[in-house]
Amino acid sequence: MFYEDAAIASKLLNLTLTKRQNIPMAGIPCHAVHHHISKLLAAGKKIAICDQTGPAKAGEFARRQITSILIPASPCYKE
């Protein structure tokens, strides 16, 4: 997550907020993604999941696309 999304999520999920080139960012560990998604949805947040859709090439950004959009009414992440 980047910018405002990173700041909001870091507070809600108790994640470390870092910066690279003065851009705030935070990440969710893969092993905890379902838990954190549930917490964000319970807080009324909408979530866009982006996945890498092509091979990463040296010196270039990997291609990523939105593959899922979740809203608080999404039943698949309720714990």
- Range 13-30 burial, b when 16+ CB lie within 10 A, else e: bebeeeeeeeebbbebee
CATH architecture of the domain 3-77 equals 3-Layer(aba) Sandwich (3.40)
pLDDT band at 15 (very low <50, low <70, confident <90, very high): very high
pLDDT tens-digit map of 32-68: 999 999 999 999 999 999 999 988 889 888 899 999 9
pTM of structure: 0.79
Domain ranges of the chain: 3-77
User: Is residue 27 pLDDT above 60, yes or no?
Assistant: yes
- What whole-number distance in Å separates Cα of residue 71 and Cα of residue 3? 20
User: Tokens 């905890």 belong to which residue?
Assistant: 32
pLDDT band at 14 (very low <50, low <70, confident <90, very high): very high
